[in-house]
Amino acid sequence: MSMKKMLALLLAGAMTISLAACGSKTPDPPEVTPKAPVASASTPDETPKDDGVWRPFNEKGETIRTDRDATGENGMVATSNVYATMAGQKVLQEGGNAVDAAIAVCYALGVAEPFTSGLGGGGFMVIHTADGENSFIDYREVASSGQTAESWLDASGNLIENANSVGGLAVGVPGEVAGLELALAEYGSGKLTRQQIMQPAIDLANNGYVVSPTMYGAIADEYERMIGEYSELGAYYLKDGLPYEVGDTVTNPDLAKTLQLIADNGADAFYQGPVAEAIAAAVQKHGGVMTVEDLASYKPEERVPVTGTYRGYQIISAPPASSGGTHIVEALNVLENYDIGSMTVNSAEYIHLFSETFKACFADRAAYMADTAFAEVPLEGLTSKDYAKTIYERINDQAQTWNAGDPFAYGHDSTTSFSIADKEGNVVTVTQTIECFWGSKIAVEGYGFIMNDEMHDFSTSLDSVNKLEPGKRPLSSMSPTVVLREDGSSFMSVGSPGGVRIWPTVTQVISHVIDHGMDIQEAIDTARIFDNGTDTGINYESDGVTPITPEVAAELEAMGHTVTDKGAWQLFFGGVQGIVYQEDGTLRGGADPRRDGKALGF
């Protein structure tokens, strides 16, 4: 055994990766501060064969922070993984539209980034067509018919450790395949077959992809489970019983087989027959209650997007069961009362305003946001500029504790993620997930994919509006967002993973571009903050692009804020992918160096 292999084993017990998929139940605090993978410990013993594909790391196995952006004239794809970006680009170049390309990306991400999304998960898709149509497809997971919030409690009424995040009782009925089939049927170009759209993902699963520092860290973080109770997962993502190293190639023929079944027979191949039976058996083996009937009854939903305006730009984003789109609009409505563009980015004054705004929105989120089929959600009030004005009027020069407001009293007076855009103005942005890294840790043996732990997004409080109920969608923070110019022409597409940090992150990037005129890559690179009103206070990046300095941190503390330094380039703050239509008609794509993101245009 090499020294590096031995060190990999040691790291498995010590490394902590942000479980930053796309949601976190309210009002839990953010996860423990993640530590970046120690790439040098996983550098291959021998230089791996170069597959000719751009890599997010250098010859030493260290993550690179540059060369993530791109400019194109005809089309642009920005995703969290270069192999997925290439899949979307290929479909566009073959004559597919933005939706076709988005579907290709979704399936490819499930292969090359299996710890964040895949067939066993779900997501949200926002579509804006060049003729002005806006659509939202909700393929979020739902609770099994036989599960309730009490399922997680012991005889004394206490939460069983990890019951809502690991194992069978954490799994929701997956929606990805059904959602992508709906998108293809309703919004696909009709020029490419399902086989053509899925072929890049099938080839990727058969031929393999190169392990990045991010993936290495994700494997090392769950190594003990992969060699223990969840050995089915380890069978796919360990090499000779040890973590794959940076630069190694991973294949998954079982996943290729499953993808081919879907390419041949559509969603029925997944929700009925042998695949559905294998899913139910795997979930039940690990203590869950999901049945083949639950799978057969799953339906995605088409919904009306949440809309708003910011300084004349139109915002189109995710409605419930996402809280994200609503609170992006709410936060921007508050910030619109300030001359943000005149402030220095990440100055104390600037951060204070964002912090207070986020805290007010999180208070409303905890009080009101849930699946609208199970709760009355005051969307009109929460997205009202008059209601936002009441928050603005409460903000002063000191940190405050925020309670929920009364959005029911106000009417409506204005209206991960990856991005794809073409020169005609068709835009698709998608955020999808299996929740925490590696989801529930349950791999479906023989079929190569991982089941979500989306039930983790329900509150464990039996009094919460977001408590688990059979058939209910858990609250999410996923916020795929499209921004239009005042004349209705396409301007920007943006989204991110990152749990409850998603919509604050997306809000900051939108403001960077609109208020400060930043290039999309600069806006993505700029250091971020997060504050949801918990004891950790303002979480911030202290290194990177325009970081929060010690002097600014001291000023914030003098204003009554608690501050927590998360370091540099943190997975904690998500992984934004975005596209902007520039004035000269070209498309500008940006991808987040905090993860493996890469934009490609043509």
Catalytic residues: 415
Token representation of residue 114? 């299996």
Count of CA atoms in the C-beta half-sphere (13 A) of 493: 36
- Which residues, at least 6 apart from 428, have a Cβ–Cβ distance to it below 8 Å? 98, 99, 101, 102, 125, 126, 127, 128, 419, 420, 421, 493
Beta-carbon count within 10 A of 349 CB: 14
Exposure class string for 297-336: b at 16+ Cβ within 10 A, else e = ebebbebebbbbbbeebbbbbbbbbbbbbbbbbbbbbbbb
DSSP assignment of 556-576 equals HHHTT--EEE--BS-GGG---
Token representation of residue 415? 């209206």
Contact yes or no for 150/301 (Cβ under 8 A): no
Nearest to 102 by CA among 72, 76, 68, 141: 76
Q: How far apart are CA 115 and CA 110, in angstroms?
A: 8
Residue type, 70: A
SS3 174: coil
Q: How far apart are CA 458 and CA 517, in angstroms?
A: 38
Q: How far apart are CA 491 and CA 479, in angstroms?
A: 17
SS (H, E, C) 262-317: HHHHCCHHHHCHHHHHHHHHHHHHCCCCCCHHHHHCCCCEEECCEEEEECCEEEEE
Q: How far apart are CA 239 and CA 250, in angstroms?
A: 9
Q: How do 563-565 and 538-540 pair as beta strands? A: parallel
**Phi/psi-derived region of residue 247, left when phi > 0, alpha when psi is between -120 and 50, beta in every other case:** left
First-to-last alpha carbon distance for the chain, in angstroms, is: 45
Burial of 41 (0-12, 13-18, 19+ CB in 10 A): buried
Helix, strand, coil share (%) of the chain residues, nearest 5: 35, 15, 45
Residue 424 has what DSSP assignment? Answer: T
Residues in the chain: 602
Give me the sheet containing 563-565, strands edge to edge.
529-530, 538-540, 563-565
